[in-house]
């Protein structure tokens, strides 16, 4: 979340630069002449045959890890390499730059002292002996195949061969023959996951067999098409998982869909004295107040570190953490309670926070398909439970949450950042971003082709240095229809009026996949939108569009108003506060919404404030006012305007 990153505990599995000798997906890797070169599809077929693994099992396991991508030989957030996600966390850690968290007060409630998390000295890197087995499968693959570790990391054919060898070894360890029937490999697939509990291993295996059942075909990051034909009638031997000797995770008070593996690891509610306590607030949602948002974070820390942090009463909190390697979920707070995660108390009080094991500022530290899938299932479950619309006005990145007042804007976090694949995520949610209007529409939905769209970002490893090329779901915004024009300004981030930059953490001139904006103009291959009170242009050629046209409602200042204020939270008017509850200021942000400009309308909501500044919950209460607000997509972050200040119309 950004909110999780404590420098004392960070073991970031970020990308070391791929070796200059990295094997290409086109030619494969020659391992002492033993592996075939050629297409990726043939490499899977050849390794499956050599190792006695059904090809459908090998392809489906790889798909659930990497979607058959190689990521240029760079590691995932859990130190996994190549299409088979062979893990070598020690090597990944050794090449990892250090990144600290920002200055945000995760609680975001200025009725009490800021809840900042202090930085400390960086901890030493763990040794191989200190890492769990699931983070060092590449070492085992090297022992089984005789292929050097570097080749397993960077050579695609070698990587697939290593994965096939591990699957065959898992089958033998289960005491079963190398059957040609993929249904006989359920136990081996469950063992492959590396999970230490039955529920997670079962969920992973079920997902692999769902891929086999439905089939898949996609173009990989090398431009090659890989296909797995569907096997609709497959009936795997699910009883095999019982023989693996795995633990039973404590589901406890978890609130999760049946299709995921969920474990109860509670965050502490503890009083320290002098009015201080941590690390969340008790609540009674949705009876006391509605839940309107789901906030997607990345942890900026490994799984083990993340769990240590959320169980620290002096730290901050969120509802769920998701593990990258297998999609395992830990729940920390009952959904009725309020976590301290988004940096905006209005949003915290009305949201659920999901922390994903990962790192914003190293684009080659990729997320696994297993985690994307379980996250999407959890979000669908929460959306259905609380009637939350599945759109980008309600499913927010932490980087879309606004600062509460002017002074907090610069400290707000920027995760999960431009490398989170929102398009794929919403496909998994069952709500893909598709056109809903013609070419002259007044609204656009941002949607570049994630893999092909690779704008240059800087600052991943070193300030000003270009990041490694990588797919991105964000478009860059200019002051004129030209790539040479300056980027638009964000006066909240830079009060001095300086231009925005290409920095990976600079959200000042960035629109992200799924976000909707009112069209200000069109000129050739360029489209302009209203953004932070100005006209902002992005490249949107017809042959390679980066947005789709959409229908929607927009708002503009009411008749006669030249400009109206914009807010970072929707708090009640002063007269709504009862005795004993301090009035919270309704302070506008430094931006203005000007006459003639339009912004896409989100929810209409009454002003609301959850008063919960003390450990004793008897005095907690929700204050609601008569003043109503609209949520709008104002810049990269959402914002709020008073309903009395605007008029609404169809775009």
Q: In terms of pLDDT, which residue wins out, 616 or 117?
A: 616
Whole-number mean pLDDT of the chain? Answer: 90
Contact of 525 with 402, CB cutoff 8 Å: no
Contact of 254 with 236, CB cutoff 8 Å: no
Angle at the Cα of 455 from the Cα atoms of 451 and 460, rounded to 5 degrees: 100
- As a whole number of angstroms, the distance between CA 89 and CA 94 comes to 8
The model's pTM is 0.93
Please say whether the dihedral angle defined by the alpha carbons of residues 505, 507, 510 and 512, taken in this order, is positive or negative. Answer: positive
- Which 8-state DSSP code applies to residue 291? -
Contact of 64 with 58, CB cutoff 8 Å: no
pLDDT at position 504 is 92
- Which 8-state DSSP code applies to residue 267? P
Percent of the chain surpassing pLDDT 70: 90
Report residue 413 CA to chain centroid gap: 13
- As a whole number of angstroms, the distance between CA 513 and CA 503 comes to 18
3-class DSSP assignment, residue 238: helix
Taking every pair of Cα atoms in the chain, the longest distance, rounded to a whole number of angstroms, is 81
Q: Is 68 left (phi over 0), alpha (psi -120 to 50) or beta?
A: left
pLDDT digits (tens, 9 = 90+) for 382-432: 999 999 999 999 999 999 999 999 999 999 999 999 999 999 999 999 999
3-class DSSP assignment, residue 210: helix
pLDDT at position 342 is 96
pLDDT average, residue stretch 445-458 = 95
pLDDT at position 132 is 82
pLDDT at position 274 is 83
Name the pairing type of β-strands 553-557 and 225-228: unpaired
Report residue 497 CA to chain centroid gap: 31
Contacts of 265 (CB under 8 A, 6+ apart): 307, 310, 311, 321, 330, 331, 332
- As a whole number of angstroms, the distance between CA 297 and CA 32 comes to 43
pLDDT at position 327 is 95
Contact of 376 with 69, CB cutoff 8 Å: no
Give the bridge partners for 247, in sequence order: 197
Q: In what order do the strands lie in the sheet with 395-397?
A: 262-264, 329-331, 320-322, 351-356, 293-298, 395-397
pLDDT average, residue stretch 583-611 = 96
- As a whole number of angstroms, the distance between CA 433 and CA 192 comes to 34
| Window from 43-57, 207-221, 350-364 with minimum mean pLDDT | 350-364
| Window from 29-33, 98-102, 461-465, 491-495 with minimum mean pLDDT | 29-33
pLDDT digits (tens, 9 = 90+) for 452-468: 999 999 998 888 899 88
3-class DSSP assignment, residue 71: helix
Alpha helix stretches (DSSP H) within 155-242: 156-173, 186-192, 198-214
pLDDT at position 364 is 64
Roughly how many angstroms between the first and final C-alpha of the chain, as a whole number? 34
pLDDT at position 34 is 55
- As a whole number of angstroms, the distance between CA 20 and CA 74 comes to 12
Confidence of residue 97 (pLDDT cuts 50, 70, 90): low
- As a whole number of angstroms, the distance between CA 401 and CA 639 comes to 8
Contact of 517 with 475, CB cutoff 8 Å: no
pLDDT at position 77 is 81
- As a whole number of angstroms, the distance between CA 338 and CA 353 comes to 9
Confidence of residue 621 (pLDDT cuts 50, 70, 90): very high
pLDDT average, residue stretch 582-609 = 96
pLDDT digits (tens, 9 = 90+) for 22-36: 333 333 333 444 565
pLDDT at position 13 is 36
Confidence of residue 37 (pLDDT cuts 50, 70, 90): low
Name the pairing type of β-strands 329-331 and 262-264: parallel
pLDDT at position 78 is 82
pLDDT average, residue stretch 143-159 = 97
Confidence check: pLDDT of 359 > 90: no
Confidence check: pLDDT of 167 > 80: yes
Confidence check: pLDDT of 126 > 80: no
Confidence check: pLDDT of 121 > 60: no
| Distance set, CA 154 to CA 62, 225, 533 (Å) | 16, 20, 47
> Torsion over CA of 612, 615, 619 and 621, rounded to 10 degrees?
30
Contact of 528 with 456, CB cutoff 8 Å: no
> Torsion over CA of 642, 644, 647 and 651, rounded to 10 degrees?
30
Angle at the Cα of 226 from the Cα atoms of 222 and 232, rounded to 5 degrees: 155
Q: Pull the structure tokens for residue 576.
A: 């709504």
Q: How many CB atoms lie within 10 A of CB 124?
A: 8
pLDDT at position 164 is 98
In angstroms, what is the C-alpha Rg of the chain?
25
Q: Which of 557, 610, 123 is nearest to 348 (CA)?
A: 610
pLDDT at position 124 is 61
Confidence of residue 270 (pLDDT cuts 50, 70, 90): very high
Total count of residues recorded for the chain: 651
**DSSP string for residues in 393-430:** TTEEEGGGSPPSSGGGGGG----S-TTS-HHHHHHHTT
Confidence check: pLDDT of 601 > 80: yes
pLDDT digits (tens, 9 = 90+) for 179-191: 999 999 999 999 9
Alpha helix stretches (DSSP H) within 352-505: 369-386, 422-428
Confidence check: pLDDT of 283 > 50: yes
Contact of 381 with 480, CB cutoff 8 Å: no
pLDDT at position 31 is 42
Q: Pull the structure tokens for residue 29.
A: 């890797």
Give 574-610 as a 3 state SS string.
HHHCCCCCCCCCCCEEEEEEECCCCEEEEEEEEEEEE
Cis link prior to 100 (omega < 30° from 0)? Answer: no
pLDDT at position 361 is 61
For the chain, what is the total number of helices (H) and then of strands (E)?
Answer: 12, 28
Residue with tokens 């590691």: 75
pLDDT at position 17 is 34
- As a whole number of angstroms, the distance between CA 451 and CA 471 comes to 4
pLDDT at position 35 is 67
- Which 8-state DSSP code applies to residue 569? S
Contact of 522 with 488, CB cutoff 8 Å: no
Residue with tokens 């474990």: 263
Q: Which of 412, 428, 430, 389 is nearest to 292 (CA)?
A: 389
- As a whole number of angstroms, the distance between CA 75 and CA 82 comes to 8
pLDDT at position 363 is 64
Contacts of 596 (CB under 8 A, 6+ apart): 556
């Amino acid at each position: 979340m950004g909110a999780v990153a404590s420098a004392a505990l960070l073991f970031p599995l970020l990308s070391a630069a791929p070796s200059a000798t990295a094997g290409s997906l086109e030619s494969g890797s020659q391992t002492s002449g033993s592996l075939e070169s050629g297409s990726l599809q043939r490499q899977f077929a050849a390794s499956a045959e050599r190792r006695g693994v059904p090809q459908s099992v090998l392809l489906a396991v790889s798909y659930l890890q990497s979607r058959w991508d190689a990521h240029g030989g760079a590691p995932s957030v859990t130190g996994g390499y190549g299409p088979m996600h062979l893990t070598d966390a020690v090597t990944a850690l050794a090449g990892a730059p250090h990144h600290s968290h920002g200055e945000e007060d995760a609680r975001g409630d200025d009725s009490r002292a800021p809840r900042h998390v202090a930085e400390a000295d960086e901890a030493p890197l763990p040794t191989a002996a200190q890492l769990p087995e699931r983070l060092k499968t590449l070492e085992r693959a090297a022992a089984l195949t005789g292929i050097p570790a570097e080749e397993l990391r960077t050579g695609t054919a070698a990587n697939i061969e290593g994965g096939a060898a591990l699957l065959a070894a898992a089958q033998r360890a289960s005491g079963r023959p190398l059957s040609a029937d993929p249904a006989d490999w359920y136990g081996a697939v469950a063992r492959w996951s590396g999970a230490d509990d039955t529920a997670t291993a079962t969920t992973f295996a079920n997902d692999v067999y769902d891929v086999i059942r439905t089939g898949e075909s996609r173009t990989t990051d090398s431009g090659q098409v890989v296909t797995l034909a569907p096997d609709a009638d497959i009936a795997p031997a699910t009883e095999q998982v019982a023989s693996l000797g795995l633990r039973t995770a404590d589901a406890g008070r978890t609130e999760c869909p049946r299709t995921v593996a969920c474990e109860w690891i509670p965050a502490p509610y503890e009083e320290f004295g002098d009015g201080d306590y941590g690390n969340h607030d008790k609540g009674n949602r949705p009876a006391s107040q509605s839940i309107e948002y789901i906030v997607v974070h990345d942890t900026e820390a490994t799984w083990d570190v993340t769990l240590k942090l959320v169980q620290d009463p002096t730290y901050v909190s969120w509802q769920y953490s998701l593990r990258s390697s297998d999609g395992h979920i830990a729940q920390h707070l009952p959904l009725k309670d309020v976590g301290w995660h988004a940096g905006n108390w209005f949003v915290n009080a009305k949201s659920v926070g999901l922390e994903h094991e990962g790192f914003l500022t190293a684009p080659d530290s990729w997320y696994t398909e297993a985690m994307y899938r379980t996250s999407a299932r959890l979000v669908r479950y929460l959306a259905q439970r609380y009637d939350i619309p599945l759109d980008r006005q309600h499913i927010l990145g932490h980087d879309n949450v606004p600062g509460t007042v002017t002074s907090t804007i610069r400290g707000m976090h920027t995760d999960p950042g431009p490398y989170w694949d929102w398009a794929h995520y919403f496909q998994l949610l069952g709500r893909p971003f598709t056109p809903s209007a013609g070419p002259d529409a007044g609204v656009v939905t941002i949607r570049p082709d994630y893999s092909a769209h690779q704008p240059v970002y800087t600052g991943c490893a070193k300030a000003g240095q270009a990041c490694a090329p990588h797919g991105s779901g964000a478009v860059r915004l200019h002051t004129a229809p030209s790539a040479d024009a300056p980027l638009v300004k964000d006066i909240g981030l830079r009060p001095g009026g300086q231009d925005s930059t290409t920095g990976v953490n600079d959200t000042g001139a960035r629109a992200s996949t799924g976000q909707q904006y009112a069209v200000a103009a069109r000129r050739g291959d360029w489209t302009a939108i209203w953004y932070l009170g100005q006209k902002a242009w992005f490249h949107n050629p017809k042959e390679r569009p980066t947005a789709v046209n959409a229908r929607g409602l927009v708002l503009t200042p009411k008749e006669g108003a030249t400009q109206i204020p914009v807010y970072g939270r929707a708090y009640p008017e002063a007269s709504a506060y009862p005795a004993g509850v301090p009035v919270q200021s309704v302070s506008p942000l430094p931006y203005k919404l000007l006459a003639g400009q339009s912004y896409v309308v989100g929810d209409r909501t009454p002003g609301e404030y959850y008063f919960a500044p003390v450990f004793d919950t008897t005095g907690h209460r929700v204050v609601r006012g008569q003043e109503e607000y609209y949520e709008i997509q104002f810049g990269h972050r959402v914002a709020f305007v008073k309903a009395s200040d605007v008029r609404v119309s169809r775009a």
